Amino acid sequence: MSPPPLDGALAIQTFGLGKSFGKRRAVNDLDLEVPHGSVFGFLGPNGSGKTTTIRMLLGLAAPSSGSINLLSRPMPAAASHVLPRVGALVEGPAFHPFLSGRANLVRMDCADTTSDPATRTMRVEAALEKVGLGKAAKLAVHAYSLGMKQRLGIANALLRERELLVLDEPTNGLDPQGTREVRHLIGSLAREGTTVFVSSHLLSEIEQMCTHVAVMSTGNLLAQGTLAQLRSGGRSRLTLRTPDAGLALGVLARLGLEALPDPTASGADRVLRSKLDSGAPEAELIVQELVAAGVRVRGFAVEAASLEERFVALTGEGFDLAQ
Ligand SMILES: Nc1ncnc2c1ncn2[C@@H]1O[C@H](COP(=O)(O)OP(=O)(O)OP(=O)(O)O)[C@@H](O)[C@H]1O
């Protein structure tokens, strides 16, 4: 997803946010900036502090240090003003299995003392339609797939107009079909202008549905920005195809590039690969030098590092690419 036009406002901002459980520091000095209008991926391995952060954002846990602005109002001080504008899916809501999806939403809305009973029926139907459960609304929830239950959870978060949606691992445990359903739903909510803050331990999820990302590891924020900004912070890679490998290796070495032949390449041409870090010469200069030295350049490409490579470099650990 490409970043939307942002108005510069922040939907979520934290300053030095921290949370300790006894001696254990679950979240450490977190400065989060979530632009209004973004689909913001909160990415980190299990145990990196995502749920704890989300609980603090929503006023479900008290910070040990730091402060939070949610929709430009301080939390938890302004909770009663802010929270009605924020929908949340944290630790999957407990639905009554023998009631229909619709009846469950009605129950949930009745339990919300601030909701308007006069508009209840209309709001419940609108939320069911929005998550694509209009047709299944009369089925008992025990007959729902996990993806449908997750969408019902999101419908619950959408029982009123929301400016911000906070979703904790909404695709966790879903099969590929359920994951696609939730991803499409997030995309359509974002297109309607809702800011979505979504946590995941799955890099591929974040990459497919988010405009922005923050990377957490053991309670620390390692990086945040647009996906493109994160990618550009990484190394890129050069690939050269030539029949003059020996000559090319010499030229590249003179330019400070350590190239390795690709052992899987076949045919008369050899394929050489080299990492390009930020101090490497421009691609144009490399080609110029190769040609000037008489290297027959039959293929030349510079590819940006993948997000996965970037995250592994940041966190020192691999991310699951699939469920
Ligand atoms: N109530 C608690 N008491 C003690 N330790 C806790 C508590 N809640 C979380 N922690 C610890 O804080 C750390 C961060 O946990 P948290 O659940 O925020 O991580 P997470 O990134 O959301 O991971 P997961 O996806 O597995 O939930 C973990 O080491 C966890 O054991």
ipTM of the complex: 0.94
Whole-angstrom Cα distance, residue 287 to residue 309?
A: 25
Least confident of 25-29, 124-128, 173-177, 211-215: 173-177
For residue 321, is pLDDT > 60? no
24 alpha carbon to ligand 1 midpoint, in Å? 10
- Ligand 1, pocket-test mutation among 32, 43, 51, 315, most atoms within 8 A of CB: 51
| The pLDDT value given to residue 145 | 86
For residue 128, is pLDDT > 80? Answer: yes
Ligand 1 lined by 43 (C-beta under 6 Å):
no
Whether ligand 1 lies within 6 angstroms of the CB of 26 is answered as yes
Which residue, judged by its Cα, is nearest atom 16 of ligand 1?
49
Mean pLDDT within 54-74? 94
Of 24, 42, 64, which is best to mutate to test ligand 1, by the most ligand atoms within 8 angstroms of its C-beta? 24
How far does the centroid of ligand 1 lie from the alpha carbon of residue 44, in Å? Answer: 12
Asked if residue 217 has its Cβ within 6 Å of ligand 1, the reply is no
Residue 38 has pLDDT above 90, yes or no: yes
Instruction: Decide: 51 in ligand 1 pocket, CB within 6 A.
Output: yes
Question: How far is ligand 1, taken at its centre, from the CA of residue 199, in Å?
Answer: 13
Give the predicted TM-score (pTM) of the model: 0.78
Percent of the chain clearing pLDDT 90 (strictly above): 54
Least confident window among 87-96, 116-125, 149-158, 219-228: 87-96
pLDDT bracket for residue 269 (50, 70, 90):
confident
